[in-house]
Amino acid sequence: MFEGLEQIAADAILGLMAAFRADPDKHKVDLGVGVYRNDHGDTPVLGAVRRAEEALIAEQTTKTYVGPAGNPLFNAEMEKLVFGPAHAALKAGRVKTVQTPGGCGALRLGADLIRLSAPGSVVHVSDPTWANHVPLLSGAGLKLERYPYFDPATGGVQFGAMLGALEKLPPRAVVLLHASCHNPTGADLSQEQWREVLALVRRRQLLPFIDMAYQGLGDGLEPDCFPIRLFCAELPEVVCAVSCSKNFGLYRERVGALHVLTQDAKSADAVGSQLVKLGRGMWSMPPDHGAEIVRRILADHTLRHLWEEEVGAMRRRIQHLRHDFVAQLKNHCPQHDFGFIERQKGMFSFLGVTTPQVHTLRSAHHIYMTDDSRINIAGLRNQNLEYVATAVAQVLKG
Ligand code: LMR
């Protein structure tokens, strides 16, 4: 049966992890996969996570099933974290939340819900978007199209072109938006621009599908939720996929949630029942361990405070790295303007070098990034900023 299958290349992002691990060079720098690293190059377990996990292990009395929607207390905490505890949509019972295996599970479940409700739907994604959006959404049977987004000339968003393209979409078209820390560009919309997108989405009757994988790593835990809170206050229906991988450092535990806003509480209950059925057909029930850690952190005043401090420290470190890296690049490549890196948000930026130059950075300097020159800023370290900037200067000279 399987003899016709061809060997295919490793995933563009995950393949780099393996290549980096296999590289014995002591100067190697991993700017590939989107994982937060400290200045020692480590991704430690957060203090709040460690403490919540210790308590969980000490107190847990059973490993029996939780249920297909996951941990209901986790779902309730996630709603408060993402929407704010007083959000009108929560009070009206219009939000249905299901725990998912990571943000990927949430994206896939949201896509399946859309296909179930409106088969043949097209999802319009930003150009560019996170590479894994493509298999996740198209694997659910949705078609994908792209709207203009990133402007390489400025390192910002081509906002006029983006609005122009969205303006032409038919009613009920699905628009995938990155709430904050756009992956892969780091180019985010301002609050004013989000308001303009909201007005357009409402006028054109589009369905926003918002992906938030980096809450807290852009402008802060609250401001990073701005588009979700705004859209869910003003629109009848919104789909939101949320990940706890980065902001809780729970990558391998696969913790995420899908929040679906519906017109009324009755539709929310119907959607909830469908989500549970769809999830049952894919993973039956989401894994509990990481979600219970998140629940304990969010529900406990001391742990939550510690976690908020830790997220703040990650965010500030990324912001400092952006600043210091731009300063190093300015020193070593004065003829190029890399100032956009400092204006961008979250983990990623495009360095803006060509694919052959990316390959030279990898082969000659042991610096790893995806072929489109996306770099994980959090993979930089104070000790190697100059090394990376010098290498970039060398490849730019040719
Ligand atoms: C990334 O974009 O590098 C991360 O979201 C990790 C992944 O799964 O691709």
Instruction: Give a three-class secondary structure readout of 186-236.
Output: CCCCCHHHHHHHHHHHHHHCCEEEEEECCCCCCCCCCHHHHHHHHHHHHCC
Which of 246, 288, 345, 389 is the catalytic position?
A: 246
Q: Which two tokens stand for residue 216?
A: 């807290």
Domain spanning 12-44+316-397: which superfamily? Aspartate Aminotransferase, domain 1 (3.90.1150.10)
Does ligand 1 lie within 6 Å of residue 183's CB atom? yes
CA of 184 to the centre of ligand 1 (A): 9
Q: What confidence score (pLDDT) does residue 10 get?
A: 87
CA of 222 to the centre of ligand 1 (A): 23
CA of 34 to the centre of ligand 1 (A): 5
pLDDT in tens, 183-205: 999 999 999 999 999 999 999 99
CA of 39 to the centre of ligand 1 (A): 20
Is 393 annotated in the active site?
no
Measure Cα distances from 97 to 47, 68, 83, 103, 394 in Å. Answer: 27, 12, 12, 13, 50
Does ligand 1 lie within 6 Å of residue 33's CB atom? yes
Atom of ligand 1 nearest to the CA of 245: 5
Q: Within a 13 Å sphere around the CA of 382, how many CA atoms are in the beta-carbon half?
A: 6
**Average pLDDT in the 48-61 region?**
98
Is 307 annotated in the active site?
no
Does ligand 1 lie within 6 Å of residue 11's CB atom? no
Which of 130, 140, 291, 345 is the catalytic position?
A: 130
**Average pLDDT in the 107-123 region?**
97
The domain ranges of the chain are 12-44+316-397, 65-299
Q: Which two tokens stand for residue 151?
A: 């402007």
User: Does pTM surpass 0.95?
Assistant: yes
Residues 286, 101: contact at Cβ < 8 Å?
yes
Does ligand 1 lie within 6 Å of residue 373's CB atom? no
Q: What confidence score (pLDDT) does residue 398 get?
A: 80
pLDDT in tens, 253-305: 999 999 999 999 999 999 999 999 999 999 999 999 999 999 999 999 999 99
CA of 375 to the centre of ligand 1 (A): 11
Does ligand 1 lie within 6 Å of residue 360's CB atom? no
CA of 6 to the centre of ligand 1 (A): 25
First to last CA, the chain: 49
Residue nearest to atom 4 of ligand 1 (CA): 34
Which of 213, 241, 291, 378 is the catalytic position?
A: 213
Does ligand 1 lie within 6 Å of residue 348's CB atom? no
User: In a 10 Å sphere around its CB, with 0-12 CB exposed, 13-18 middle and 19+ buried, how is residue 129 labelled?
Assistant: buried
Is 130 annotated in the active site?
yes
pLDDT in tens, 311-325: 999 999 999 999 999
Does ligand 1 lie within 6 Å of residue 34's CB atom? yes
Number of neighbours of residue 192 by Cβ within 10 angstroms: 8
Q: Which fold has domain 65-299?
A: Aspartate Aminotransferase; domain 2 (3.40.640)
Is 330 annotated in the active site?
no
Does ligand 1 lie within 6 Å of residue 56's CB atom? no
Measure Cα distances from 99 to 86, 109, 246 in Å. Answer: 21, 10, 16
CA–CA gap between residue 340 and residue 351 (Å, rounded): 10
**Average pLDDT in the 314-341 region?**
97
Does ligand 1 lie within 6 Å of residue 243's CB atom? no
pLDDT in tens, 1-30: 999 999 998 888 989 999 999 999 999 999
